[in-house]
Chain A
Amino acid sequence: MSEVSTVIIAIFILLGAFLSLVTAFGVIRLPDVYTRNHAASKAATLGIMFILIGTCIFFYLKDGYFNSRVILGIIFIFLTAPVSGHLISRAAYHTGVKMWNKSVQDDYKSYLEEQGEKEKSNS
């Protein structure tokens, strides 16, 4: 392995670890479920992807072994992380978790009330 590739791998893995750390800070620090979800679903996705890319390049250059499972892992995380974030926040909203009191706007509430009235008039 040349020096340049070592440095590139190191940058990838350290950046991934840093992003995961920032995610943890965000989950502790942000005020409510929804804003925490912003941090968890975005930064963690990219952090894990960077670490996996670094691993893939490392084993390819060291052993000449291209691990396609790592690439598949990256694609799966890329596809599933935003969906899980969406589902968690939607479930939170429907079970009545309140938004932070400094929130400025809520269009979804009026839509839900409308839907509820429609169902009542139907039944």
Chain B
Amino acid sequence: MAFQILLNFILAFLWMFLQNSMDASTFLIGYLLGLLILFGMRRFFSSRFYLLRVVAVINLLLIFIKELILANLAVLKVILKPKLDIQPGIFALPTKLTSDWELTILSNLITLTPGTFVIDISKDKKIIYIHAIDIPDVEEVIESIKNSFEKAIMEVSR
């Protein structure tokens, strides 16, 4: 992905030199033309066309913000409820992600989801231990959310 972006920049600079004008607007036009060329030659690269990955990253960011707001609503409900009837606990969640940065992003996402909190990741990086504020209430919902997170992160790293 980084290689494709670098190539796109070089093509944009090439366009600037061909036009003999050093403006930002010329650079932008060159960048767009380079994008078109890269799209046409996408089958020569080993990874995907990089714009798809940029879209996946933006998608992940939107998920982040949405989950943060939902998590706050859930915590507000727990704190402001007159009766304290939560059932906290720690449960284990197996994960398919392998590399370190993927796990970091996943645990950051989990920490910002409603009612969950990462305590530790096992040494073989296969299980995440999560503290949930209300176990019977959220466990199933959380599993489905986790699956969607994992999918969104894999979409970026694939």
Judge whether A106 is part of the interface by a CB distance below 8 angstroms. yes
- A106 lies within 8 A of B79 (CB): no
Contacts A37-B117, A85-B111: A107 and B129 contacting too (C-beta < 8 A)? yes
| Residue contact B75 to A43, C-beta cutoff 8 Å | yes
Q: Is A100 touching B92 in the complex (CB atoms < 8 A)?
A: no
User: Is the CB of B149 closer than 8 A to any CB of chain A?
Assistant: no
**Which of A5-13, A23-31, A56-64 faces chain B?**
A23-31
Judged by a CB distance under 8 angstroms, whether B142 is at the interface is no
**Residues of B with C-beta under 8 A to A111:** 92, 122, 127, 129
Residues in A whose Cβ lies below 8 Å from that of B19 = none
Is the C-beta of B21 less than 8 angstroms from some C-beta in chain A? no
Q: Does A35 have its Cβ within 8 Å of any Cβ on chain B?
A: yes
* Interface presence of B120 (CB below 8 A): yes
CA distance A106 to B119 in the complex (A): 11
Q: Which of A86-104 contact B (CB under 8 A)?
A: 86, 89-90, 93, 99-100, 102-104
B80 within 8 A of A: yes
Q: How far apart are the CA atoms of A28 and B57 in the complex, in Å?
A: 38
Fill in one digit per residue for A67-93: 1 if any B CB lies within 8 Å of its CB, else 0. Answer: 000000000001100110110011001
Q: Which of A32, A34, A78 has a CB less than 8 Å from the CB of B117?
A: A34
